[in-house]
Amino acid sequence: MAYQLPALPYEYTALEPYISKSTLEFHHDKHHAAYVNNYNNAVAGTDLDSHSIEDVIKTIAGDASKSGLFNNAAQAWNHTFYWNCMKSGGGGQPTGELADKIKADFGSYENFVEEFKKAGATQFGSGWAWLVLDNGTLKVTKTLNAENPLTAGQVPLLTMDVWEHAYYLDYQNRRPDYIGDFVNSLINWDFVAENYAAAV
């Protein structure tokens, strides 16, 4: 049951000027594709081959003998999720039940933005910033390298990739500028709201 590399949900130029065509070509066609290929090669012919990638991630998390498999599985999943977290003309504030929940759990949308930006900016080295649903409460978390909230029993609603390859061609070492553009101009709140609605 090979995990397929999904096509991007938009054209390579759709996120410009914030994320360039060159970044998406390298990030999706090279980095993401490599994770997918490595994952499929690693599970082929094993008892994990018939399981969903989400189940594999949860099953082998924390098993040092399977760290290579975990890293490729989680990175394959994380990237698929990340592409859907962005859209052309994104950003702004969410609406409806999600907006109400953000205000209830963070105090305001502005407080959420501050926490989310801080999580991305303070993730040392490579990793991810997340908005998750944890036992009915929205929380901002960050994870190192390939780790993701699935292994903690949390429901991922939104993620931002802060590995350097996600932004370096466009922003060089200016990670905070990438984070600001992601929040203000790229977040696909429709996708986040769908994830929230499915989880409650």
Which residues are annotated binding-site positions?
Answer: 27, 79, 161, 165
DSSP state of 107: S
All residues at 6 or more sequence positions from 30 whose CB lies less than 8 Å from its CB, including other chains: none
Quote the CA–CA distance of 111 and 114 in Å, as a whole number: 5
* Cβ count within 10 A of residue 49: 13
* Residues flagged as binding site for Mn(2+): 27, 79, 161, 165
Quote the CA–CA distance of 109 and 138 in Å, as a whole number: 12
Strand 127-134 versus strand 155-161 pairing type: antiparallel
All residues at 6 or more sequence positions from 171 whose CB lies less than 8 Å from its CB, including other chains: 177, 178
Phi (first) and psi of residue 50, to 5 degrees: -90, 0
Q: What is the DSSP string of 137-174?
A: EEEEEEEETT--GGGGT-EEEEEEE-SGGGTHHHHTT-
